[in-house]
Structure 1
Amino acid sequence: MNAPPCPESTVLTDAAITLRPWRCEDAAAMYEAVRESMASLAAWLPWCHADYGLADAQARMQACREGWAQGELFAFAVLDGDGRLQGSAGLSQINRLHRSANAGYWLRASAQGRGWASRALMQVARFGFEQLGLIRVEVVAEPGNVASRRTAERAGARAADAAVYSLVPSDLAPP
């Protein structure tokens, strides 16, 4: 894998949206976007909950900066043509051995349905391939999250590889 580029000089853009690394001063805008979008995001994103506050957004900004510096998280603010924050997209779960990562994305409620999430996904995937030297970007979406699955498909991703099962402690039968 390649060394990560400097976040200050990293800007991804296409005809509709711009992605740039999160900045500390984005916390209030992120908080606003998350609060607007509680109804559409909370079912799928565990960090998006009724008690989500500005301190959570501030902590996320710090985690994004630290994750970038450590090469473990490449999170971008998704901006519209007017520079207004519309959501987030990024790469996490970086696997250097297999040169792969997971992609994630979300958009504020008022920005959904415009194709921006699939555009953002394509941009972060391209960033992963071209800047980080990845050979695979995966999207993990819950089966019921039809919007996320369609976003991945519109970006060119294909359902592949495995059925995933999980166990949590309460699933285990007593010995």
Structure 2
Amino acid sequence: MKLPVNQEVYIRPFRKNDALSFVEAVHESVATVGAWTDWCRQGYSLQEAESWFKLCNQNLAAGLAYDYGLFSVSTDQVLGGIAINQINKEHNFGNVGYWVRQSQQGKGIASQATQAITTFGFLELKLTRLEIVVAEENIASRRVAEKVGARFECIARNRLVIWGVPHDSAVYSLVPS
């Protein structure tokens, strides 16, 4: 799969040769992405990236999760990630997650990628609900959810654990129109 986001960005599965660019994106983004995700930290290694890619591709093949990379059309550099994961087949919904490397934040990539993956989730996966769950204080990710038209549903107490600390989280939903 290769899914366009805009003229400069596309979505595709990770490949082993993306690992170095992925690690560079992680290290660059510790101050922003790392504030909200445990895996985004200094010291993140090439081996961790390769293991992550292997798990992503296994889950993709099994239809369990769709964790993809965001890539530059011109350079093939890793710009971030976009996913539909935590799929609940019984109730036909999943979670949408996204991150964009620090140097590319504020350009609309996350919201455009979220729109693209949401369309994929509804049309290709036939899901009937997608959720975006972000720490209440994560204003940037909440703005992405709002920008793509996700409906704010609630603040769920202790919904996410980040760096070992429970956080109240904003829950948003998208449903096919």
The worse-fitting range, judged by mean Cα deviation, of 47-56 and 107-116 is: 47-56
Cα deviations across residues 117-146 of structure 1 (Å, max 9, x unaligned)? 000111111111111110111100000000
Count the aligned residue pairs. Answer: 160
Residue type at the aligned position of 2:90: L
Helix, strand or coil for the counterpart of 1:123? helix
* Residue of structure 1 aligned with 2:2, choices 1, 6, 11: 11
* Residue of structure 2 aligned with 1:140, choices 133, 150, 154: 133
Superposition RMSD on alpha carbons, in Å? Answer: 1.9
Alignment partner, residue 66 of structure 1:
58
1:152 aligned onto 2:162? no
- The aligned runs of 1:61-100 (5 Å cut-off) are 61-82=53-74, 83-100=76-93
Structure possessing the higher relative contact order (Cα contacts under 8 Å, 6 or more residues apart): 1
Identity %: 36
TM-score w.r.t. the length of structure 2 is 0.84
Helix, strand or coil for the counterpart of 1:140? strand
Cα deviations across residues 81-135 of structure 1 (Å, max 9, x unaligned)? 3132211101110011111000000011110000000001111111111111101
Unaligned runs of 5+ in 2: 167-177
- The aligned runs of 1:50-65 (5 Å cut-off) are 50-65=42-57
Unaligned runs of 5+ in 1: 1-9
TM-score w.r.t. the length of structure 1 is 0.85
